[in-house]
A and B are shown apart, each in its own frame.
Chain A
């Protein structure tokens, strides 16, 4: 799922730190705004907007961090509103609901581990490309040179 790939140039210390921070941003947001799925996306989006004019390496990783949050937002939003529906309306807990919550929990944990791994490696200047997200990032983020 995670591949160490070649990057056109080797990033400097400053760039590696900024790129790593984009992943850390989503981790902190996960802890801070756990029940609300949108907090993650907003945090990474703000970081992305702030670094839109940054160097290629920074931009690339900000975009990948942002994209990975989109799919999580989709599945987490369904889970969130389903829970709200159960708490505030006369719907009851069903087996389907519990199965869904456990599945999204599993995917969130996997994403969390992948993000930590990527943040550590990017900090060391190693270019990490995620399966699926990395390819979309390659299309969206181009070198300006």
Chain B
């Protein structure tokens, strides 16, 4: 029983140590998350602007 407990605890330990090590890396930078988010935001903005422009009159003389 103690063997199983220690094995289970070691397994959980291995998991948490891996998680801790993985946390040391800057994945946000590695996967360029910020750039991708900005790009998507820009694209979405363009898309919505196109929809608004098609559905109404644009007031451009203000």
Does A28 have its Cβ within 8 Å of any Cβ on chain B? Answer: no
Size class of the B contact interface (CB-based, 8 Å): 10 to 19
Q: Which residue of B lies closest to A131 (CB)?
A: B7
Does A100 have its Cβ within 8 Å of any Cβ on chain B? Answer: yes
Quick one: which of A36-83 are within 8 Å of B by CB?
Answer: 71, 75
Quick one: which of B18-42 are within 8 Å of A by CB?
Answer: 18-19, 22-23, 25-28, 31, 33
Size class of the A contact interface (CB-based, 8 Å): 10 to 19
Contacts of A139 in B (CB 8 A): 4
Q: Which residue of B lies closest to A92 (CB)?
A: B37
Give the A-binding residues of B (Cβ under 8 A): 3-4, 7-8, 10-11, 15, 18-19, 22-23, 25-28, 31, 33
Across the A-B interface, the 6 shortest Cβ-Cβ residue pairs: A98-B27, A99-B22, A132-B7, A99-B23, A103-B19, A135-B4
